[in-house]
Amino acid sequence: MSEDRYIAALEISSSKVIGVVGRTRGDGTVDIIAVEQEKHVEVVRYGLIQNLEETYLRIARIIDKLERKPSVAPRRIKSVFVGLAGRSIKSINTRVSLNLPDETEITEQIIERLNNDAFNTAIDSSLEVVDVVPRSYRVGTLDTLSPVGTVGNRIDATFDVIVCRPELKRNIIRVVHDKLNIEVAGFVVTALATSHLVLNSEEKRLGSMLVDFGAETTAVSIYKNGALNYFNTLPMGGRNITRDVTTLSILEERAEEIKITSGKAIAPDTPSTLNLSGVKLSEVSNLIVARAEEIVANVIEQIRYAGLKEKDLPGGIICIGGGAKLNGLTDLLTRQTGMQAKIGRLPSYVHLDDAKAPSSEIAEVASVLYEGATLTDEQCLELAKKPEVPVTGEAEEVNGGTEEEVPAKRHNNGPSLMDKLRNKIAGIFTPNDEDDSGLLDD
């Protein structure tokens, strides 16, 4: 990165949509200069957009607010990087190999060919490959993570092929590109990007587990010997706890507030006798503890699915996501595994200029932004175009005044953004049920 560039990113989760704008620096650092978010319920389920129009309205408001920020104006957002997350995101382990002439030096071109072979691996037709991540290489009899420059007559590679349902990307394109007329600069697998940004090299080499506790899903990424070893998305998260609390005859918004302010993942030694607006805190505690223990048990079981044990991950458990804010959740993980569990933070080379957005709450979208900033040359923002000056050389009057600058219209055809906001039409798209994977049996 030789000069400052402006990058924009979106993270569309089951509880909210977050948009950020960042500025890259020549020294490799990234400043997050603007953050906006819109919460929602039942608009996105398990990471998949259900209601295109409602999602569009929320993203449109976020884009408008971002563009009005002093740190962004008068620039306009013309493209965004979008995070991919949700229930259907998972990895499939595959091996590919190439036979080579004797004493062939492994080059970047050979590695690229292996990547392409892995990307084109035959999979279930209901899924789409979105990324391939090398786990290990074997050149002749040499096992290595850095094969370029080694010599051999055969190379074998193990990859994690990351797949998702095609609707996940398709519905994002319908909203961002088709409705908002903003280009999708690239799709980024959120869990992988977050692992790259939040986990340090020592944690990856020693062995660690990154757990992203979302509203309706929990993504688990396990690293060992510096490479991804296992990845899965569980169809359970913080909203399961909230909805359990609603069984006490309270609305979901109130249940969420009680969970955040009074909930604990570990049962107190002495049950509370207090009532909170008619709700017994002892009953709230029982519900929260039971569900938290279930989620944690399923997270821990992923270590077994990865073919590992707790002692194989001395780097510990790093937690991110809104669900990780539940009081005592990291303590519960430590108690159940004997591993150190902590909240993940953004590294020092990613600066958060927007003080109202805690770094722990935007780790995912910041990771998507950083991935786009460092791996591409994309420029996501552009200066608003000035109106053409009439032939007479005099500015035209608009509403009785002289208009010096008019932002370029985002929609060149069809109704304007404000027209659409005034005349919204809700369209609900319900996904097919999927089998739960990576979960403990009842």
pLDDT at 433 over 50: no
Tokens of 282: 């002892």
Q: What is the pTM of this model?
A: 0.83
Q: For the domain made up of 5-87+167-194+349-383, give the CATH fold.
A: Nucleotidyltransferase; domain 5 (3.30.420)
> Of the CATH numbers 3.40.50.1010, 3.40.50.360, 3.30.1490.110, 1.10.490.10, which one belongs to the domain with range 90-164?
3.30.1490.110
Residue given tokens 């990291």 in the structure block: 330
Three-state SS for the chain is CCCCEEEEEEEECCCEEEEEEEEECCCCCEEEEEEEEEECCCCEECCEECEHHHHHHHHHHHHHHHHHCCCCCCEEECEEEEEECCCCCEEEEEEEEEEEEEEEECCHHHHHHHHHHHHCCCCCCCCEEEEEEEEEEEECCEEECCCCCCEEEEEEEEEEEEEECHHHHHHHHHHHHHHCCCEEEEEEEHHHHHHHHHCCHHHHHHCEEEEEECCCCEEEEEEECCEEEEEEEECCCHHHHHHHHHHHCCCHHHHHHHHHHHCECCCCCCCCCCEECCEEHHHHHHHHHHHHHHHHHHHHHHHHHCCCCHHHCCCEEEEECHHHHCECHHHHHHHHHCCCEEECCCCCCEEECCCCCCHHHCHHHHHHHHHHHHHCCCCCEEECCCCCCCCCCCCCEECCEECCCCCCCCCCCCCCHHHHHHCCCCCECCCCCCCCCCCCCC
Sketch the domain layout of the chain as residue ranges.
5-87+167-194+349-383, 90-164, 202-343
pLDDT at 366 over 60: yes
CATH topology match: 5-87+167-194+349-383 vs 90-164: no
Predicted local confidence at residue 353, as pLDDT: 85
Strand ranges across the sheet with 227-234:
227-234, 218-224, 208-213, 316-320, 341-343
What is the pLDDT confidence band of residue 416, given thresholds at 50, 70 and 90?
Answer: very low
pLDDT at 327 over 90: yes
Sign of the C-alpha dihedral computed for residues 254, 256, 262 and 263 taken in this order? positive
Q: What is the pLDDT of residues 35-54, one digit of tens each?
A: 999 988 889 988 899 999 99
pLDDT at 408 over 60: no
Q: What is the pLDDT of residues 58-75, one digit of tens each?
A: 999 999 999 999 999 999
The whole-angstrom separation of Cα 360 and Cα 319 is: 9
Name the nearest CA neighbour of 32 among 64, 11, 9, 2. 9
Other Cβ atoms less than 10 A from the Cβ of 205: the count is 15
Predicted local confidence at residue 177, as pLDDT: 97
Question: Are the beta carbons of 16 and 4 closer than 8 angstroms?
Answer: no
Q: What is the pLDDT of residues 271-292, one digit of tens each?
A: 888 887 788 999 999 999 999 9
What mean pLDDT do residues 77-96 have? 94
What mean pLDDT do residues 378-397 have? 69
**Count of residues in the chain:** 442
Percent pLDDT > 90 in the chain is 73
Cβ contacts of residue 41 below 8 Å, gap of 6+? 15, 252
Name the nearest CA neighbour of 241 among 291, 280, 295. 291
Predicted local confidence at residue 66, as pLDDT: 96
What mean pLDDT do residues 111-119 have? 95
Predicted local confidence at residue 3, as pLDDT: 67
Q: What is the pLDDT of residues 163-215, one digit of tens each?
A: 999 999 999 999 999 999 999 999 999 999 999 999 999 999 999 999 999 99
* Mean pLDDT (the chain, rounded): 87
Percent pLDDT > 70 in the chain is 85
Q: What is the pLDDT of residues 147-175, one digit of tens each?
A: 999 999 999 999 999 999 999 999 999 99
> So what CATH class is 202-343?
alpha beta
